[in-house]
Amino acid sequence: MASKLTALPMVLGAGWLGLHWASRQTLGSEPLKRRRPDWPYTVTPTLFVPGWGGNAWTYNRLLRWLARQGMGHQVLTICVDRHGGLRVKGHWPNTASNPLIQVLFDHPFTADYQQQITWITSILRYLKSHDQVTTYNLVAHSWGGSAAVSSLFLHGGAADMPQLNRMVLLGAPVDEHDRTHPVDAAFQRLQAVRADLGNLGPGTIHNVYGTLSGRLTDGSVPVYQITALRSLVAPSSLTYHEHHVAGIGHGRLHASPQMWRLIARLLWTDDGLDPK
């Protein structure tokens, strides 16, 4: 019995290491295998940013689906270490093929998303300086979306940053005030720069949120924390749309075929959606 108890921590440790390794295995870069005559293609890359605790599993299935549909293909994986250093795998093709970039954070379990703001900004600066990327799309879930919005508002107008084309937010809390925390300092910082958002250019933000059982929440994030973005974008040059998806919980916003079809449509097509 004693030997079994001694071996248990080793077994659990090996299991955790195996799970950790598996959760970091991305699809890797591959060429676009087919082009659809009914689908638009551009050179603008799309970054996929996970939320708190997210890993390669967050978007692997979506990226695989996009490739199989001939809608785009993964060209780069950019990993950010806990000190902000970048490890880039793959090859930037600079061709009109809807290139996709998977973003991973070595330290995804942070106390808030302030570090992710710096990390996302560093990635965008790298893409402009190293690969001459001038415009970008971005898909982000939960706190990844909160960080992406802050990066855009605080740094998006700088000369060393590429310009936003389209951003698809999936259940991203922008104003996290509640009864116990009546003021969200991060939201206040965004409010303070509202007057300076005119230099961000004509990008588009698609703010997607789910609700469960008629409740005003996706099970993790209340709707009011997501739609607070509306008031921030109003005085800017950005185009803004909100998309409510009933019956979709927080964890499924990036993980269901229904959402994959919506994400693809919002990234690459124009369906006459009116800004809100």
Residues 222-233, mean pLDDT to the nearest whole number: 97
Average pLDDT in the chain: 91
Distance CA 41, CA 64 (A): 17
Instruction: Give the length of the chain.
Output: 276
C-alpha to C-alpha distance for 92 and 90, rounded to whole angstroms: 7
**Quick check: 79 pLDDT over 50?**
yes
Structure token digits, residue 141: 């879930």
Residue 199 has what pLDDT?
A: 82
How far is the C-alpha of 113 from the C-alpha of 117, rounded, in Å?
7
Q: Is the confidence at residue 219, as pLDDT, over 50? A: yes
124/172 Cα distance (integer angstroms): 20
| Spatial separation of the C-alpha atoms in residues 58 and 145, rounded to whole Å | 13
Question: Scanning the structure block, which residue is given the tokens 């090996």?
Answer: 14
217 φ, ψ to 5°? -160, 155
- Looking at residue 235, its pLDDT comes to 85
Taking only the tens place, the pLDDT of each residue in 241-253 is 999 999 999 999 9
Q: Cβ of 127: how many Cβ atoms within 10 Å?
A: 22
Using one digit for the tens of pLDDT, what is the confidence trace for 60-74? 999 999 999 999 999
CB neighbour class for 193 (10 Å; exposed up to 12, middle 13-18, buried from 19) = middle
Band of the pLDDT at 7, cuts 50, 70, 90?
A: low
- φ/ψ (deg, to 5) at 244: -95, 125
Dihedrals phi, psi of 198, to nearest 5 degrees: -65, -20
- pTM for the full predicted model: 0.90
Tell me which of 183 and 201 has the higher pLDDT. 183
Confidence of residue 41 (pLDDT cuts 50, 70, 90): very high
What is the distance between the alpha carbons of residues 219 and 19, in angstroms, rounded to a whole number? 26
What is the greatest pairwise CA distance in the chain?
69
| Domains of the chain as residue ranges with CATH | 41-268 (3.40.50.1820)
Average pLDDT for 184-213:
94
Per-residue pLDDT of 142-191, as tens digits, reads 999 999 999 999 999 999 999 999 999 999 999 999 999 999 999 999 99
Residue 14 has pLDDT above 50, yes or no: no
> Is 110's pLDDT higher than 70?
yes
- Give the CB-side neighbour count of residue 71, counting CA atoms within 13 A: 18
